[in-house]
Amino acid sequence: MQLEPYKNTSLDDIENEQWLGIEGFEYIYQISNMGRVKSLAREVFRKKGSPMRKRARILKQTQAGRGNAVKVTLSNEGKLENRLITSLVWRAFFGERKENCAIYHDDNDFYNNRLDNLRERLIERESSSINHSVASSRYKGVRVKYGKYISSQIRIGGGKEITKSFKTEQEAAEWYDSMIIKYKLKRKGNFI
């Protein structure tokens, strides 16, 4: 019986599997056209400075928050980042997605992140009766202002708010989650 790619943690390649480096983690992790993430063999240094050899392995994938997406946790120099498998596959093999577009699964199976199952489609939005120039995002803490920018805003206590602009909704959602972690806020994020 053949396992689904996301369940297959064997280092043996699946038939026709191709691997590319993950942007920002090129020498640490690779993503395949089958939607698997590989941690490469490497030497890392412990906090006290002694070296430790890490073996290559396929990373386990988990459900991302409350949504219908699958994530993986990447680490670089002690910093953890949650990344959606869909986005990793798309960026590695096609680059950035087009403005106002999202990546969809042909078979609606969010665990099937094989490259041949992903398609880029224009995001369809309902107009707001309050403000026609601002649309909400499917991500928590993210707003889209048509034709101008995508922003994320978070309140960190004491009335203080932090707002930042991004090129993509995904980046804005990831930043929102990183602020929750940084300020140790007790609330749900997008991927955490």
- Alpha-carbon distance of 81 to 73, in angstroms, equals 6
Residue 20 lies in a domain: yes
| Model confidence band, residue 1 (pLDDT cutoffs 50, 70, 90) | low
Q: For residue range 70-89, what is the model confidence (pLDDT) as tens digits?
A: 899 998 877 888 898 999 99
Domain that holds residue 67: 1-124
Same domain, 104 and 140: no
Residue 50 lies in a domain: yes
Is the model's pLDDT at 35 over the cut of 60? yes
Same domain, 104 and 158: no
Same domain, 98 and 181: no
Q: In 3D, which of 46, 43, 45, 39 has the Cα closest to residue 25?
A: 39
Residue 144 lies in a domain: yes
* Total residue count of the chain as it appears in this document: 192
Q: Mean pLDDT over residues 36-58, rounded?
A: 90
SS3 content of the chain, % helix, strand, coil (to 5): 15, 35, 50
- Alpha-carbon distance of 88 to 95, in angstroms, equals 9
pLDDT reported for residue 177: 87
Is the model's pLDDT at 164 over the cut of 60? yes
Q: In 3D, which of 63, 59, 89 has the Cα closest to residue 74?
A: 59
Same domain, 113 and 130: no
